[in-house]
Amino acid sequence: MRIDVVSAVPKILEGPLTESILKRAQSKKLARIVVHDLRDFAEGKYRHVDDKPFGGGAGMLLKPEPFFKCLNGLLKERTYDEVIYLTPQGVTFSQKRANVLSLKDNIILICGHYKGIDQRVIDRFVTMELSIGNYVITGGETAALVVIDAVVRLIPGVLGDSESALTDSFQTETGFDSPAYTRPAEYEGLKVPEVLLGGNHKEIARWRGKMGSKKYKRVKKKKLN
């Protein structure tokens, strides 16, 4: 899978894309993640990528020209399954959407910054507007990282134990992972549940299912919108 990310602040993406699972996915050539610095497509001495909005109002908008140049270049090279703009106004990202996106060959993620991007970029290129939740963050970069992480870990072979993505919270029927423990079996008077120490795998599976759904129901009840 190839993911192209277009950003005015690409430095935000650097660390997370070059560590842990995302690093491994790329070195195993299971994912290719290419970051494009919007400034490289900007004109003029100062390579401005933002400007004041027509009609007034607070904040700056990302200009259309650098996006058009960058995106037209990419679309000339290959076909993309989705061109996604990260915005709080988009449809909400979920495990289901991550599953669907993980089956795509090529996607583009467009990160807004400041007050957003010129509407003409959306009108011309964007096939999906995606939000990571009902709150506003400074830029689309952090949202893009959330999407990339959730999607790339689902690509077969990325995780060492292919089972573990399938048993992740939200992938199971009951919704959540069960509580997990490691050694020591007792710490500061806090004991690991007896069933996990017994080695009866049927019983352990039953217990995990029960605890996962219990946690799911408890959290769901408390959830605020």
What are the residues binding ligand ADE (CB under 6 A)? 86-88, 112, 131-133, 135-137, 140, 143
What span, in angstroms and rounded, lies between the C-alpha atoms of 38 and 1? 22
Tell me the sheet residues that pair with 107. Answer: 3, 82
Which residue is nearest to ligand ADE, using beta carbons?
A: 143
Cβ proximity to ligand ADE, 75 vs 91, nearer residue: 91
Closest CA to 27 of 151, 161, 141, 158: 158
Cβ proximity to ligand ADE, 112 vs 212, nearer residue: 112
Cβ proximity to ligand ADE, 33 vs 145, nearer residue: 145
CB of 135 to ligand ADE, least distance (A): 6
CB of 195 to ligand ADE, least distance (A): 40
Closest CA to 86 of 117, 111, 67: 111
CB of 92 to ligand ADE, least distance (A): 9
What span, in angstroms and rounded, lies between the C-alpha atoms of 8 and 192? 48
Give, as one character, the DSSP assignment of residue 92.
E
Cβ proximity to ligand ADE, 6 vs 159, nearer residue: 6
Cβ proximity to ligand ADE, 34 vs 91, nearer residue: 91
Looking at the chain, the number of H-run helices and the number of E-run strands are: 9, 9
Q: Which amino acid makes up residue 173?
A: E
Closest CA to 78 of 102, 103, 105: 105
